[in-house]
Amino acid sequence: MVKISELKRFDMADHLDSEEAIADYLSMILEEDDPEAFIQALGTVARARSMKEIAEKTGLNRESLYKALSGDSSPRYETIAKVVGALGLKIAIVPQTVH
């Protein structure tokens, strides 16, 4: 029998291996209407893609990105938009569906 301590820790970043997977993941998180969860998910995606690469594309340093995308801070919209753009994605506004 396998011990819990021997199990590999689950990291969502290991499973975000395509544009579609990334877009689906972020869209799912946005549906939760939890800004902190979205920021943390954006950080997970940035790690999946390479925080160094995202830092270079955004012009921000890696340490600042890790801090901004930890879920414990409130990054500026400009930072979020730069990260989303560096990921090859865009922010879009769509009509709200009525439940």
Q: 33-90: which CATH architecture?
A: Orthogonal Bundle (1.10)
Ordered DSSP codes for 2-47: --GGGSPPP-GGGG--SHHHHHHHHHHHHHTT-HHHHHHHHHHHHH
The confidence score (pLDDT) of residue 1 equals 83
pTM assigned to the model? 0.82
Amino acid at 15: H
d(CA 38, CA 10) in angstroms, rounded, equals: 18
User: For the chain, which residues make up each domain, given as ranges?
Assistant: 33-90
Amino acid at 23: A
SS3 95: coil
SS3 85: helix
pLDDT band at 99 (very low <50, low <70, confident <90, very high): low
pLDDT digits (tens, 9 = 90+) for 87-97: 999 998 889 87
